[in-house]
Structure 1
Amino acid sequence: MNMKRLAATAVIFAATGFAPALAQTVVNIGHGVQTGHPTHIGLLKLAELVKERTDGKVVIQVYPDRQLGEEREMVEGLQLGTVEMTVVSTGPVVNFVPEAGVLDLPFLFENSAHAYKVFDGDIGKELLAKFDGADMVGLAIWENGWRHLSAKKAVEKPSDLSGMKLRTMQNPVHMRAFEALGASPIPMAWGEVFTSLGQGVIDGQENPITIFYTNSLWEVQSHIALTGHVYGPHMVLASKSVWESWPEEVRTAVLEALPDATAFQRSESLRLETEQAELLRERGVNIAKIDTTPFREKAQAVYSSFDFDPALLERIRAVAAE
């Protein structure tokens, strides 16, 4: 057991004086979204379940809103062992596990139920296993939400994106998709987005409703087009070195609580998206349903730009019919 890695873990001896008994382990989890986001709420539920099921012997501390760094920094921290666990978008992840980029292909999933079947089934397990080779442990796939376009003007068709300086994640799949749609993608760390929108450095961005609302983007953006161009996963990850240093009781407690926390997080995502869309309308944001057919047609060019396994794509599509 790596005692340096377990500095936060107190170990006492049982009454026999021979077998060590776990007293308390503190698990630190960082993420990049606000406290009103379903991922933060889901992590609080995970902490509650783990504490309850271990009689307080495992305590999860949640650090929201990039307190442990931007998403890429937290992923790098996992590899170094300086960050224990995190929940991040696929934006920075594809730089470490390229295979995860398949989830970012535009219009890949038909609906949320389709995505859940993929994530919770064999395909999701196979993708999560890929993180082992990058010194991380892939634990679960949560929901960031369906990504939509926002701008200072209405967007109804791909030609409306012509020349638009659009913030994207630092994700090559997303960037190529918006190039195909006619925009000028600008990869940017999330902490710079609000100010850049306000100053006109960028014209628009794309994110789920919950991100738009919890970051008060209505102050700098007046229109949302419900493109639903990408389903946004949130990856629940652990540092491999830290994970392996924890006592088995800690790993088991987290693994056993994750399915319930995952279901709760997804249900909160749906609830909050519906509620927050109405709140945005009350704040004067124009949220428009649009015909996504021309966006779908143009975005298909992205599929041939990346070397994703065709058999995997067919498996993902086939899950929708199961």
Structure 2
Amino acid sequence: MKAAVRHSAAVAALAVLASVATGAQAQVSERNIKFGYSVHETHPLGKGANKFAQLVAEKSGGKIKIKNYPSTQLGSETQMISATQGGVQDMVGVSSAPLVGLVKDFALFDLPFMFANEKEVDAVVDGPVGTRLFDKLATKGVVGLCFWENGFRHVTNNRRPITKLDDFKGIKLRTMQNPVYVDMFNTLGANSVPMAWPEVYAALETKAIDGQENPFVIVSTNKINEVQKYLSVTKHGYSPYAVMVGAKLWEKLSPAERTIFKDSCAEARDYQRKLNREEDAKTVAELKARGMLINEVPPEAVAQMKQQLKPVTDKYTREIGEDLVQQAQAEIDKVRSAMK
């Protein structure tokens, strides 16, 4: 008798679960989503976007189809943000820097030499600080799903290797269209040239500019080594990618669909970050094999650069908000204490 009761209870429980699953599935509609980003599809961001599309398809029973548009096919990062706000584009993955134009707090990631390693970054972007930043986007026409990785940024140029502060002098350096980066490199002695990414390769090739700054993988996948001789491992900044959905689309999504998007973004994030970090070491070796001259910047030179940039850090800390910077620093300090 007891066995029969247990069997009946199990059957009833399975029926409830099936009913819930069916109900959730009924909340999922047929959708075709346009997801744009700026880098090549072979970049870890592109592979992460493909993983995200795969996960969304699986979790939606094939009803939601994500079509990815890499390599600025839908425009520059700023153009894609605008298109996503307007509902012309459904999703976008962009580096944090252009988001400063929407919410000044995103300049947190541009503060010079703030992060020492990826663990510190993860603690900030995946914790309360990351949530706080995405909450600020709520009135800007986009909804943040999660942060993926772009990586630590380094300087390339055709004039000289950067081994000390004075080596920046006179270098015409492309920066993102972001005031912190413009001030940062002007303060270091370079001549900052804000420029949209699609224009950079040609500007380097024609020697209209001397250099640029980006993570290793972007240098490699965009073949910057073809038009640049020196790569100096400055690690002066870190850029996360923000994966966002247009608010107009988000408002149309059911609770089940929103869960699918959020869960898929988080799973793809873990995959994308692992891939990005594995490829960093391989990329350095490949760039050396292609003829780039790569040098580490001595710690004493980095310390001198940080000191030179203190007025920039102080200025933008005040603009961002000292409470946010302190909250981020507290998360970083926790990681540093745990690693001792």
TM-score (normalised: structure 1): 0.91
CA distance in 2, matches of 1:303, 1:278: 33
CA distance in 1, matches of 2:85, 2:58: 30
Equivalent in the alignment of 2:22: none
**In the alignment, which of 215, 218, 221 is matched to residue 228 of structure 2?**
221
- Check conservation: 2:27, 2:254, Cα contact below 8 A: no
- Check conservation: 1:150, 1:225, Cα contact below 8 A: yes
1:94 aligns with 2:94: no
What are the ranges of 5 or more consecutive residues in structure 2 without an aligned counterpart?
1-24, 335-340
**In the alignment, which of 33, 53, 56 is matched to residue 62 of structure 2?**
56
Counting aligned pairs with the same residue, the percent is 34
Flag as ranges the 4+ runs of structure 1 deviating above 2 A. Answer: 19-24, 246-250
CA distance in 2, matches of 1:304, 1:23: 49
Greater alpha carbon shift after TM alignment, 108-117 vs 19-28: 19-28
Equivalent in the alignment of 1:67: 73
Count matched residues. Answer: 304
Query: CA, structure 1 residues 221+239, in 2 after alignment: closer, same or farther (shift >3 Å)?
Result: same
SS in 1 for 2:309: helix
Equivalent in the alignment of 2:288: 281
**In the alignment, which of 308, 311, 314 is matched to residue 320 of structure 2?**
308
How far the C-alpha of 1:20 sits from its partner, in A, is: 6.7
**In the alignment, which of 45, 50, 54 is matched to residue 51 of structure 2?**
45
CA distance in 1, matches of 2:275, 2:128: 25
Equivalent in the alignment of 2:258: 251
CA distance in 1, matches of 2:331, 2:172: 35
- Check conservation: 2:97, 2:106, Cα contact below 8 A: no
What are the ranges of 5 or more consecutive residues in structure 1 without an aligned counterpart?
1-18
How far the C-alpha of 1:120 sits from its partner, in A, is: 0.4
How far the C-alpha of 1:112 sits from its partner, in A, is: 0.8
How far the C-alpha of 1:321 sits from its partner, in A, is: 2.8
**In the alignment, which of 242, 246, 253 is matched to residue 235 of structure 1?**
242
- Check conservation: 2:174, 2:212, Cα contact below 8 A: yes
SS in 2 for 1:320: helix
Equivalent in the alignment of 1:262: 269
Greater alpha carbon shift after TM alignment, 182-191 vs 250-259: 250-259
1:196 aligns with 2:195: no
CA distance in 1, matches of 2:26, 2:328: 46
Structure number with the higher helix fraction is 2
Amino acid at match of 1:181: L
How far the C-alpha of 1:169 sits from its partner, in A, is: 0.3
SS in 1 for 2:291: coil
Root-mean-square deviation over aligned CA pairs: 1.5
Amino acid at match of 1:108: M
**1:36-66 residue CA offsets vs partner (Å, 9 max, x unmatched):** 1111111111111111122212211111001
1:114 aligns with 2:124: no
CA distance in 1, matches of 2:81, 2:87: 10
- Check conservation: 1:86, 1:236, Cα contact below 8 A: yes
Equivalent in the alignment of 1:208: 215
1:142 aligns with 2:154: no
